[in-house]
């Protein structure tokens, strides 16, 4: 059975979704860069080992990433899963786990990389928003896409309402992506695209606003 390590910085709601999803893998540890991260207590309540590597203890990103990698490698995971880990990782760290480092981002990548995605979507008048699970590469928020979920942007939406509605979908697709990984159902082709070994594509469209 494959092993994963989850990295968090705060509450870890996506981490909780993974813990509760009964995934076909061993969650070896939850690691945070913040000792006060609420998600650490959640992991401990689920009987998961926890560790803290505080970025404040290091003078630069490279030193922090090296210590973080050493801690991760102690658990010998097959995959490293970012679940609200609020640190930009160095290229050396990312390359160390190429094809094994996974993240979820609150937009339909490659659109709206970076921060404040919900505010930017509302500012631009976008009608369909979403989230993306992807492999992490040194090019921020541009790694191969595993799965996406889309939701309509509703009249009167705020950053809060949009984020809350999208979070429900994050909690659905992230466990699915990790399940596929742990069951060896994902492969990268020579174009750097993700293919499912047993595709289950559903052929329907999300149209927003809806047609009359």
For residue 41, what pLDDT is reported? 97
18 has pLDDT over 80: yes
Region 187-192: mean pLDDT is: 87
89 has pLDDT over 90: yes
pLDDT averaged over every residue in the chain: 95
CA–CA dist 205, 13 (Å, integer): 28
For residue 67, what pLDDT is reported? 98
- The answer to whether 16 and 48 are in contact (CB under 8 A) is no
14 has pLDDT over 90: yes
Peptide bond into 3 cis (omega under 30): no
210 has pLDDT over 90: no
What is the DSSP secondary-structure string of the chain? --EEEEEESS--HHHHHHHTTT-SSEEEEEEES-TT-HHHHHHHHTT--EEE--GGG-SSHHHHHHHHHHHHHTT--SEEEESS---PPPHHHHHHTTTTEEEEESSSTTSS-SS-HHHHHHHHT-SEEEEEEEE--SSTT-SPEEEEEEEEPPTT--HHHHHHHHHHHHHHHHHHHHHHHHTT-EEE-TTS-EEESS---------SSPP-
User: Of the residues 105, 118, 129, 134, which is catalytic?
Assistant: 105
For residue 201, what pLDDT is reported? 72
Q: How confident is the model at residue 66 (pLDDT cuts 50, 70, 90)?
A: very high
Domains and CATH numbers, the chain: 3-196 (3.40.50.170)
199 has pLDDT over 70: no
In the annotation, is 129 catalytic?
no
What is the DSSP secondary-structure string of 166-206? HHHHHHHHHHHHHHHHHTT-EEE-TTS-EEESS--------
pTM of the model: 0.95
CA–CA dist 90, 50 (Å, integer): 23
For residue 204, what pLDDT is reported? 78
Distances from the Cα of 190 to the Cα of 94, 103, 144, 193, angstroms: 19, 21, 12, 7
CA–CA dist 98, 137 (Å, integer): 7
Note the pLDDT tens digit of each residue in 102-144.
999 999 999 999 999 999 999 999 999 999 999 999 998 999 9
């Amino acid at each position: 059975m494959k092993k994963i390590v989850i990295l968090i910085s705060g509450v870890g709601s996506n981490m909780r979704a993974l813990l509760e999803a009964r995934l076909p893998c061993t969650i070896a540890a939850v690691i945070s860069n913040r000792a006060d991260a609420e998600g650490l207590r959640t992991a401990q309540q689920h009987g998961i080992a926890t560790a803290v590597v505080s970025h404040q203890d290091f003078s630069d990103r490279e030193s922090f990433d090296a210590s973080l990698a050493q801690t991760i490698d102690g658990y010998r995971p097959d995959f490293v899963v970012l679940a609200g880990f609020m640190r930009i990782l160095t290229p050396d760290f990312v390359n160390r786990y190429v094809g094994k480092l996974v993240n979820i981002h609150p937009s339909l990548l490659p659109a709206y990389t970076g921060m404040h995605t919900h505010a930017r979507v509302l500012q631009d008048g976008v009608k369909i928003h979403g989230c993306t699970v992807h492999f992490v590469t040194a090019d921020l928020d541009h790694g191969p896409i595993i799965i996406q979920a889309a939701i309509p942007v509703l009249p009167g939406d705020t950053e809060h309402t949009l984020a809350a509605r999208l979070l429900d979908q994050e909690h659905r697709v992230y466990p699915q992506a990790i399940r596929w990984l742990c069951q060896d159902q994902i492969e990268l082709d020579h174009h750097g695209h993700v293919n499912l070994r047993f595709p289950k594509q559903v052929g329907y469209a999300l149209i927003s606003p809806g047609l009359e």
